[in-house]
A = this chain, B = another copy of it.
């Protein structure tokens, strides 16, 4: 029997819109393959207003309106909610997709949104790392109490399965250590420096194509990578580690000359993300390292990312993702949705 789910989208930027397009593309496929249909009953944006409608919002129209830089409230059937929490409460939805900008110091306001949704018996899904590193135990505990899911596959390596890999398909395995290249901006910069660009030229290019932010320090100083390490350790090793507890060195110390010299010797610099379990202790770090051709991370180039897991039952297991973008992040949200509702 077909099951319909009422969805709300909180945040409608690049990722939220890519997710809306993916929902539309996959509508028939989800019905045919999983007997799952959906209706978007609310969209809340930062700059284009909010729409709520129990009958459902036409996603094509919503995409068009926001693409034209107009206001979504024309699609709303009820008075505008006061704020994001009011939006969640009034929506009466089954699933929240949380994609608002997040502050990494405290994981807010995303964490409050996710908590509100779970409290109202919704599944809570996000691509944000913030709530994972700051509130994983709380939100997971609340989700378990409510028999709902708190999922966040896209928080690390976009839609490539990392969290779900350990949750669903490696049962009985114990993660001992991991080692990865998880920050796209720095990896792209290092790749461009190998091609002869200076650090500044590479950074400017990364900013021009929209990979690096105007203030790139979150990437260059290893903060984004440290947050990802923190998320992986917290969830996969069952050991809460704050980003500030991750030993951290960025790539500002690497010059074009250093990178070129290594490359002449057949070696490459990568910003490595590492963690290891030693008894009850976890050591975690982000640091640049020169690696050789036999390293499984050697040909992780440009915006690609990869992580190698060592467990007690398998040899090194590497997952690598190429060509990421909003559409792959959007797929992670869709996978979380399907995994949440088909359990």
Contact = CB atoms under 8 A, between A and B. Distances in A.
A338 B318 CA distance: 22
Given A298-B299, A321-B315, A331 B168 contact: no
B298 A313 contact: no
Interface in A294-339: 294-296, 298-299, 301, 306, 313-325, 327-328, 331, 334-335, 338-339
B170 A335 contact: yes
A319 B318 contact: yes
A338 B172 CA distance: 8
B34 A171 contact: yes
Nearest to A318: B320
B293 A314 contact: no
Interface stretch (A56-64, A135-143, A156-164, A229-237): A156-164
Contacts of A299: 293-296, 298-299
A258 interface: no
B314 A321 contact: yes
A296 B320 contact: yes
A173 interface: yes
Contacts of A313: 22, 159, 327-328, 331, 334
A328 B301 contact: no
A209 interface: no
A24 interface: no
A254 interface: no
Which of A30, A295, A320, A321: most chain B CB closer than 10 A? A320
Interface residues of A, number: 48
**Copies of the polypeptide in the assembly:** 2
A29 B169 CA distance: 17
A165 interface: yes
Contacts of A26: 172
A318 to B, nearest CB: 4
A160 B174 CA distance: 14
Given A315-B322, A328-B314, A328-B315, A168 B160 contact: no
A342 interface: yes
A322 B174 CA distance: 17
A321 B328 contact: no
A106 to B, nearest CB: 30
A69 to B, nearest CB: 28
A166 B228 CA distance: 24
18 contacts: A26-B172, A29-B172, A34-B171, A161-B170, A164-B169, A165-B169, A168-B168, A168-B169, A171-B335, A294-B299, A295-B299, A296-B322, A299-B299, A313-B327, A314-B328, A315-B325, A318-B321, A318-B322
Given A30-B172, A160-B314, A171-B334, 7 more contacts: A164-B169, A165-B165, A172-B338, A315-B321, A315-B323, A315-B328, A318-B322
A-B interface, 7 closest residue pairs, ranked by CB to CB distance from nearest: A315-B323, A171-B338, A164-B169, A313-B331, A318-B320, A316-B322, A161-B169
Interface of A: 22, 26, 29-30, 33-34, 158-161, 164-165, 168-174, 293-296, 298-299, 301, 306, 313-325, 327-328, 331, 334-335, 338-339, 342
